[in-house]
Amino acid sequence: MDDRIIHILPEQVASQIAAGEVVERPASALKELVENAIDAGARTISVTLERGGAGLIAVADDGCGMGRGDALLALRRHATSKIRGAADLAAIATLGFRGEALAAIASVARLTLTTRRPDDAHGLELAATGGEAAGVRAAACAPGTRIEVRDLFFNTPARLKFLKAPATEQAAAAEALQRLALVHFRVAFRLTADGRLLYDLPRAATARERLRQLFGARLASAMLDFDYREAGMRAWGLAAQSHESFATPRLVLGFVNGRAVRDRMIARAIALGYQTLIPRGRHPAIALFVELSPAEVDVNVHPMKTEVRFRRSGGVFELIVHALRARLADQTAAAATAPTVAFASAAGALTAADSSAAAESSAALGVDLAASPETAPERRLRLVADAAATTTGRAAQRPLGLGWNRDGARLAGDPYTAPGALAAVPAGAGVADGRAIPRYGDLRILGQIFAGYIALEDDDGLILVDQHAAHERVTFERLRAELKAGGIRVQPMLTPAALELSPARAAQVAANLAELAAVGFELEPFGPATILLKGAPAVFGAPAGIRLLGDLIDGLGDGGFKAGGTGALEDLLKQLACHGSVRVGRTLGRDEIAALLSDLDATEFKSNCPHGRPVHIRFARGQIERLFRR
C-alpha cells in the first residue's frame, strides 16, 4: 500500500499556478507581451483590446521574429533567449528573462502566435488552447510577431470571476502600456480598445516629448528637467513643481534600467526630495529614470518583475534625493511661467472635478495655455557598466547624506540633505516659454493687501507674496543651516525666565529636554511645576523665545515630541519657523518688505513654505486685461 501524501502536480496544474503568479489580470498579460516585443527590437508596437482584455489582447510588433524551432519552444515553460546559465541572472539587461510569460498566458487562454523573420519567405502560425498546442501552419505575414490572446481565464473560472468591469480592466491595461511607452519613448505605440483608438504615439526623441504625447503640452511644459550622476549611477527625468500636488501617488512613475517598477524605497526617496515643499499627505507628479549597472540591481525578486532590489540601496536612495533637492532648490524662474496642470487619468479622461480644479487653478495663476513648451535635450537610455570601477573613487568615499541609513530608512538625527554640496543645475531649466521671473527684490513694490500679502509688479503681471509663508521659509532655512553647521545658536537669557506649568505638563516637558535643546531652548527643571528658560534660539531673540516656547509646549501631545518618530526634529523646526514668523494681519513698512524679499531671494526652496503652501501667486497681465475686456 502506497501511504505517500506528497505527490508531483500535473504539468497542466503547475502551469496554471505559474500563470496565477505572472498573469494577475489582462493588464499584466499585456505588459509581458509588450516587454517581449521591446526585447525583440521592435520599433512599432500595436495593441488591440476587447472587453478590457478579457475577450482579446493582440500585440503586434515589427521586431526580429522567430523561426519554426524557436516558435515551438517559445510556448514551453522556462524557454528563453535572454539567459543561458545561472551566472546571467547576476546582470539582467532585458525586460524579460524567465521564459514563463508566453507559457503561462497560453495555459489560461486561447493563444495564437504568428511570426516571421525578415529573411524568411513566409511566416508561420501556432495555436494553443489551455496550454495544449493545436498545430503549426505556414502563414503570410509581415516581418515581426503578432500574438492574440482570447478568452483569458476561460479554463480558470475562479480567476475569471475576480476580474473587474471591462472599463476598469481597460484602464489598468492602458496604464501599463502608458508606463512602458514613457520609458521606451523611441518606440511607436498604438492602442485600440473595442474599436476606439486610445493612443497613437509616434516615436519620440525625448521623454518630455513622449510625456507631451501621453498627457498633453500643458503637463510637459510645466515639468522640470533634472539629471544627476553619482558613483556610476544616474537619476534623471521630469518632476512637477512644488505648487502642484495630488491626493494619490498615481503620477509618481519610477523606472529602473528601462523597467517600470513600484519600489517602496524609491517612493520614500521621492517623498523626501519633496519634503517641506508639498503638504503632508499629498504627492507630486514625477517621471524618474534610474540607470545603473545591471549587476547592481536584482530584478528577479517578484513574479511580475514590478519590484527590484538594489545592491547599494542607500546609494540609490541618496542619488534620488540629491537629484530632486538640487533641482527643486530654486524653482522661482520656472514657477512664474509654468501653467497649473490637470493630469489625464490612465484611461485618458479627466473627471469633472479634475477639470473644474484645473480651470480654477489656471485662472488663479493667470496661465497662458498657448505658451509653447520647452524642448528638452535628447536623452539616450543607457546602462552604466563601469559602476564597479567608479565606486572606489571620490563618490564612493563620500559619507552618506544626513538623515538616512544604507537601507533608505530615516535616522533620528539631522533629517536634511546638504543642497549646497550638490551638482549645479541650471536654474532656468524647465521654463515653459523662456521667460524667467526676476528676483523678488528686483520687482516693483506696490504695497500690502489685507495686511498679509505683498503686492509686486513686473512688466508681465501682478505677483502676490504671502508674507507669512515667505518669512516662514526664510526662518526655517536659517534654523536648518544652523542645525547643519553644528547646532542652533542660542542667545542666553540675562535672567532665567520661569514658566509655571501643571505638574503633569512640567514632567512632560522635562522628558523632552533633549529635543528642545536640539532646537535652541536651554531649559532646567525648577521644582515639580516650574521650568526655567535660560536660553532661546538667537534667530528669534530672548523675548520672542519665551512666547515660542509657550507655543511649543501648548502643542505638545500626550506622547511628547518623541511620538513623532524620526520626523520629530523636523516638525519642531517647522513649528518654530511658523510661530516665529511674521503673521498675517501685521502691517509692514516698505523697508521691512524689501528686507524680507532680499532674504527670500537668498533662500533655497523659496517657492513654498515648509508646510508646502505656495509663497507667491502670479496674475498674468493678459488675464487682468481680459477681465476688463481689453
Dmax (CA) of the chain: 100
In a domain, 612, yes or no: no
| Statement to judge: residues 120 and 236 lie in one domain | no
In which band, very low, low, confident or very high, does the pLDDT at 22 lie, cut at 50, 70 and 90? low
Tell me the residue range of the domain where 313 lies.
207-421
| Statement to judge: residues 260 and 192 lie in one domain | no
- What average pLDDT does the segment 587-601 reach? 91
How many CA atoms within 13 Å lie on the side-chain side of 480?
24
CATH code of the domain containing 555: 3.30.1370.100
In a domain, 548, yes or no: yes
- What average pLDDT does the segment 587-597 reach? 91
In a domain, 432, yes or no: no
| Statement to judge: residues 322 and 466 lie in one domain | no
Q: Which of 184, 201, 218 is the last residue of a domain?
A: 201
CATH code of the domain containing 65: 3.30.565.10
Q: 403: burial class by Cβ within 10 Å (0-12, 13-18, 19+)?
A: buried
Q: What is the pLDDT of residues 424-441, one digit of tens each?
A: 333 333 333 334 456 888
Q: Cα dihedral sign for 244, 248, 251, 255? A: positive
Q: How far apart are CA 252 and CA 175, in angstroms?
A: 12
| Statement to judge: residues 136 and 232 lie in one domain | no
What pLDDT shows up at residue 55?
Answer: 95
In the chain, the number of structural domains is 3
| Statement to judge: residues 255 and 389 lie in one domain | yes
Residue 576 has pLDDT above 60, yes or no: yes
Q: Which of 142, 167, 201 is the last residue of a domain?
A: 201
Of the candidates 276, 292, 281, 279, the one whose C-alpha atom is nearest the C-alpha of residue 324 is 276
Residue 92 has pLDDT above 90, yes or no: no
What pLDDT shows up at residue 406?
Answer: 32
What pLDDT shows up at residue 237?
Answer: 95
Residue % of the chain over a pLDDT of 70: 73
In a domain, 230, yes or no: yes
Residue 359 has pLDDT above 60, yes or no: no
What is the β-pairing status of strands 309-310 and 297-298?
antiparallel
Average pLDDT over all residues of the chain: 76
Q: How far apart are CA 240 and CA 430, in angstroms?
A: 10
Residue 374 has pLDDT above 80, yes or no: no
| Statement to judge: residues 234 and 361 lie in one domain | yes
Q: How far apart are CA 422 and CA 424, in angstroms?
A: 6
| Statement to judge: residues 19 and 91 lie in one domain | yes
In a domain, 618, yes or no: no
